[in-house]
Amino acid sequence: MANSTDTGKRQLVVVGNGMVGHHFIENFVASAVADDYEIHVLAEESRGAYDRVHLSEYFGGSTYEDLCLIEENFYEKHGVQLHLSEGATQIDRDTKQVITEQATYPYDTLVLATGSYPFVPPIPGNDGDACFVYRTLEDLDKIQACATDATVGVVVGGGLLGLEAANALKSLGLKSHVVEFAPRLMPVQLDEDGGELLKKKIEALDVDVHCEKATTEIVAGEEHTYRMNFSDGSFLETDLILFSAGIRPQDALARSSALEIGERGGILVNDQCLTSDKDIYAIGECALWNNQIFGLVAPGYTMAKTAVAHIAGDDAAFTGADMSTKLKLLGVDVGSIGDAHGKTPGSISYRYLDEDEQIYSRIIVSEDRTKLLGAVLVGDNSQYDTLLQYALNGIDLPEKPQTLILPSFDGAAAPALGPDALPDTATICSCLNVTKGQICCSIDEGATSVADVKDVTKAASGCGGCAAMLKSVVDCELEKRGVEVCTDICEHFEYTREELYHIVRVEGIRSFSEMLEKHGKGLGCEICKPAVGSILASCWNDHIMEEPLVSLQDTNDTFMANMQKNGTYSIVPRVAGGEITPDKLIVLGQVAKKYNLYTKITGGQRVDLFGAQLHELPLIWKELVDAGFETGHAYGKSLRTVKSCVGSTWCRYGVNDSAGMAIQLENRYKGLRSPHKIKFAVSGCTRECAEAQSKDIGVIATENGWNLYVCGNGGMKPRHADLFATDLDDETLVKYIDRVLMFYVKTADRLQRTSTWMDNLEGGLDYLQEVVIEDKLSICEELETQMSHVVDTYQCEWKTTLEDEEKLKRFRTFVNADEQADPQIVHIIEREQIRPA
């Protein structure tokens, strides 16, 4: 008998509103049977579904609103009733009701998405006030509160979540330790060599790793809150303990309702995600399928879709999931694919270990060397996407499989795997299980752009890691169907950024209005305005606040300072090469103290001053300019910093004056506007203390001059720079850098990093060397002349602004009031400095 209400609708109850539970709702309300049901969602937490994958970003300033997965009014729009802080306590299967402490909910169909709970080892003393788990936002709030009075934190567990947790403790300012029972970190995903390299890289980041440690008890410490005693007789003292030793399926509700449970836990489900009760489904980490619990979100999403399809009467089956992972743990790339331990009978391995670059790659292939079975990557994930497609789709390997992981020393690239090589069953987006075939279908049904395909399939809307591959597949498929792939910068200009650059140069265009009148249409937009503004600045080097440019810029460029989350600004004066006199250091301290600014030394060897209000910017600039400082261009798409070590001047290993060269380069290129920000570094020897090989331009001293590296970058997708030329004298080094930078400014796409730009050049590094060194295009003299113009016309934008009353009028918080301080900006004190409340 159906549990219908006065509306005559059937009753659907979902227990759990985590990522998987919410994904079930998203799919269900879009199904053909959604209108037949009244939907209730029971959630234990006080807040609706949020992104647990990016949970650690909460410590970096992200709020619940940033992490929330529920679009505004989504549940209301679809008639879904969400009951927060109302966890289910009992299921009465005879009367088909779910009972909470507040109410009783009848159901026709019940979906259990109860997830998992953190496993806390049964260690005496594990229930102290400063002992936590790392699972919910409430957990993180407690950890953050405890960390204010702590100096040392320990994470028990060296798996994926444990290392994420260690990073979180580190971000809170604690000295972090990781204690792992196994002989290596991430024992499930990594082999012995990979785990050892990961340990070294993480310890280099000031996180101590203790492997093969079994904690026997937690007692009161002498110097810190707790003392963790280990079975080998050693101990470790800490103020805070965070347990991240794995998860267990949250199956207590199902167990108490006599649903079938696995021997080691988990709600038994079949291929349709049905439990032993034909009216109850289980999805996500609480479900046990084929004796497996899936601890990643992507399999949970697939289960959710399977359950929706089965409820709607469609054929669907859950057939397992790929558990490959690509992560960045404490800034370290880690990848694990398939049979990472080489357990397949007859399999063979190829390994590459570079202790200098700290990169480890291993692939496991079939006995006949034709199929990829697994892979381990540490330190560099650039090959991950290609290797994953080989593994998932059974694509035949190249004749020499090792070429997939070996570096190129002869300029030859690794064998490419283009979109055409992928079968229709290839999974492009693993988060949402979108295949190449589904992408092709969306194109056949009318999608004509990446944005259209994303709207239809939701591909690349999860973690976003597949965005580049998605674009590659979409562009390839459109071209195969005879559709011209649009490269226009936007609807207002039927040109690429490079074409717009040439127009500006050839016609001498000096304003956006002139460009729009001659070559565009409409009024312009947030894409073309800043792009054209950047081109004009690159070509003519006018002050960014001159009228032709100022209306095109974003907030940071407009006010020549970086806007922060609370509406204040940060100020970064230039400190060329990181070299600064004691007197100037004192000035920075005095200015920060006078204006109550938060101060931080940046990764580029400068001092960042946070918390200035709009009206204070000119006042602070004046004090800095009077003391000999100038703008550091931290707000612009331009040269940011040239990092350096002390080189031969002080260091006993240095073979050349890296600090002097860094200062020379920073002062030369400090006014250059470019498609994206640019960073340099100069190291005085091959010990590489300045980390030059992770920069757009990297310079390393040798016994015979300088080695030049180009087109590396840190950030979201780190890439090592490529060796461009060796043993250069000072003059040749500067000449080559001039040419590389101006060729980049001339030909790159909007907001394109140098690494992506070079990868997209036909011929890559070899072609760039031909252009710059051999002058293949006969443009080197022109590039040098253009750079000379930039150097000769440099001006400090802060100083110029201070000398112009019209420009200064922009720096008023309130136009119609004498009092300029914004009363809505509130700070609190943390670690003896201000931070946004």
DSSP 530: H
Mean pLDDT of all residues in 634-658 = 89
Q: Distance (Å, rounded) from C-alpha 803 to C-alpha 150?
A: 48
Phi, psi (5° rounding) for residue 257? -100, 10
Q: In the Cβ-directed half-sphere of 479, how many Cα atoms lie within 13 Å? A: 11
Find the helix packing angle between 658-669 and 780-792, rounded to 10°: 90
Whole-number pLDDT of residue 154: 96
- Name, in order, each residue with C-beta under 8 angstroms of 432's C-beta and a sequence gap of 6 or more: 298, 301, 457, 458, 459, 461, 462
Q: What pLDDT, in 10s, does the model give residues 688-734?
A: 889 899 899 999 999 899 999 999 887 656 688 899 999 999 999 99
Contact 611, 670 (CB under 8 A): no
- Residue 356's pLDDT band, with cuts at 50, 70 and 90, is confident
**Strands laid side by side in the 88-92 sheet:** 88-92, 97-100, 104-106
CA separation for the pair 178, 162 (Å, rounded): 7
Q: For helices 436-444 and 467-480, give the axis angle rounded to 10 degrees.
A: 50
Residues 124-150: tens digit of each pLDDT: 999 999 999 989 999 999 999 999 999
Residue 409: other Cβ atoms inside 10 A:
7
Mean pLDDT score, 663-684: 93
Query: Of all helices (H) and strands (E), which one includes residue 681?
Result: strand 678-683
Give the pLDDT score at 742: 94
**Helix H or strand E encompassing 41:** strand 37-42
Residue 55 neighbours by CB under 8 Å, 6+ apart: 67, 134, 137, 140, 164
Arithmetic mean of pLDDT over the chain: 88
Contacts (Cβ under 8 Å, ≥6 apart) of 558: 545, 550, 810
pLDDT tens track for 651-672: 888 899 999 999 999 999 998 9
What value does the mean pLDDT take over residues 611-638?
90
What's the pLDDT score for residue 142? 93
pLDDT of 297 strictly over 70: yes
Tokens encoding 647: 């080189």
What is the three-class DSSP state of 316? coil
pLDDT of residue 6: 60
Give me the mean pLDDT over the 638-652 stretch. Answer: 90
pLDDT in tens, 565-595: 777 888 889 998 888 899 999 999 999 899 9
Residue 611 neighbours by CB under 8 Å, 6+ apart: 564, 568, 570, 595, 596, 597, 598, 827, 834
Can you give the pLDDT at residue 228?
A: 97
pLDDT digits 0-9 by tens, 361-382: 999 999 999 999 999 999 888 7
pLDDT of 412: 44
> 131 forms bridges with which residues in the sheet?
241
Q: Whole-angstrom Cα distance, residue 243 to residue 378?
A: 25
Cα–Cα distance between 641 and 670 in angstroms, integer?
Answer: 8
| Percent of the chain whose predicted confidence (pLDDT) is above 70 | 94
Query: Which pLDDT value is given to residue 336?
Result: 92
Query: Is the pLDDT score of 468 beyond 90?
Result: no
The model's confidence at residue 619, banded by pLDDT at 50, 70 and 90, is very high
Confirm if 118 and 135 have CB atoms less than 8 A apart. Answer: yes
* Burial group, residue 418, by CB count within 10 angstroms (0-12, 13-18, 19+): exposed
What is the model's pLDDT at position 172?
Answer: 86
What's the average model confidence in pLDDT over 69-91? Answer: 94
Q: Are strands 280-282 and 109-112 parallel, antiparallel or unpaired?
A: parallel
Tokens 């004298």 correspond to 729
pLDDT tens per residue across span 728-780? 999 999 999 999 999 999 999 888 899 888 887 878 888 999 999 999 999 99
pTM of the model: 0.57
Which amino acid is residue 86, in one-letter code? E
DSSP track, 533-578:
HHHHHHHH---TTSHHHHTTS-HHHHHTSEE-TTS-EEE-B--GGG
Nearest to 341 by CA among 467, 186, 476, 223: 186
pLDDT tens digits for range 387-428: 988 998 888 898 889 988 887 554 444 555 677 778 888 888
- Region 300-324: mean pLDDT is 91
Cβ–Cβ under 8 Å, residues 574 and 670: yes
Q: Which two tokens mark 334?
A: 């880690």
Please state, for a pLDDT cut of 90, what percent of the chain lies above it. Answer: 51
pLDDT digits (tens, 9 = 90+) for 193-234: 999 999 998 888 889 999 999 999 999 999 999 999 999 999
Residue 410's pLDDT is: 46
User: ∠ at Cα 275 (270, 277), nearest 5°?
Assistant: 130
